[in-house]
Amino acid sequence: MTAIISGSELASDLTGEDPPVILDVRWQLTAAKAPGEPAFDGRAEYAAGHLPGAVFVDLDAELAGPPGPGGRHPLPDLDVFGAAMRTAGVFADRDVVVYDGGQGWAAARAWWLLRWTGHPSVRVLDGGLAAWRGGLSTRTPDPEPGDFVPKPGETGAVDADGAAALARSGLLLDARAAERYWGDVEPIDRVGGHIPGAVSAPTTDNVGADGRFLPREQLADRFRSLGAVNGAEVGVYCGSGVSAAHEVLALAVAGIPAALYPGSWSEWSGDASRPVATGPDPQ
């Protein structure tokens, strides 16, 4: 099974005998909003119209823990995450499809968490809500409680020391915008720059103008050009472990396994003892 699904494929699956569970994870990074612009409210967007049967999942409350030394979106308490997934009707043996408003970052975070904690069948709606050609619903479903119990995998995630090791001996990709990698701007975290040895690889370059992922071979070529060759171990980080999940998803589409550094730059830069590199070069 692939990591993504098209709108037409999802419409077909929903008419089958065992339709997937649908999770709506609409979210935006509020720190990136223009001054004076109202904060994005994913739950209100969901209430105004969502895929029929979809259950809303709150990224900040259910897919991440409270901000702190571990970053702005550290890993959630797995009891909280598991309870949220069961309330949403997630079963260990039933397909799950996740979507967001179109950027794909939040959906990818949910995809990564479910996969990392042992769910065998999760896909992201490629292109998000805009890829859905069917009608929308304002009805809040009341699904049968699921049975999924998250069990973190031994691989697929790295901490700060693991990210540093990957930057030295494998390939560590920085999924943020290039100007943040360079250290020219830093709108959120304590200091700008990047983890020494990390390679700039903005996740926005993995999608086309319609927000959908580039073809598999095109993605594979891109990651090979960045150093994902000869079985190199690959890791990804971003500002807080959300957009990096989208890059891990792009790598999965390309057939390249990669680990996520959940704390990402918000954790790394919050520790003044850790080194910071600036400029366009990894070192």
Rounded to the nearest 10°, the torsion over CA 51, 57, 60, 64 is: -130
* DSSP structural state of residue 38: P
In terms of Cα–Cα distance, which of 125, 104, 110 is closest to 10? 125
Q: Do residues 94 and 22 touch, judged by C-beta distance below 8 A? A: no
Where would I find the beta strands (DSSP E) of 94-164? Answer: 96-99, 122-125
Catalytic hit among 5, 171, 238, 256? 238
Q: Do residues 123 and 97 touch, judged by C-beta distance below 8 A? A: yes
3-class DSSP assignment, residue 194: strand
Annotation marks residue 6 as catalytic = no
Q: Please give the C-alpha separations between residue 243 and each of 11, 44, 93, 204, in angstroms, as whole numbers.
A: 26, 22, 27, 9
3-class DSSP assignment, residue 111: helix
- In sequence order, what are the residues at sequence separation of 6 or more whose Cβ sits closer than 8 angstroms to the Cβ of residue 235? 158, 162, 163, 166, 170, 171, 172, 173, 258, 259, 260, 261
Q: Do residues 160 and 245 touch, judged by C-beta distance below 8 A? A: no
HSE of 152, CA atoms in CB hemisphere, 13 A: 13
Which are the catalytic amino acids? 238
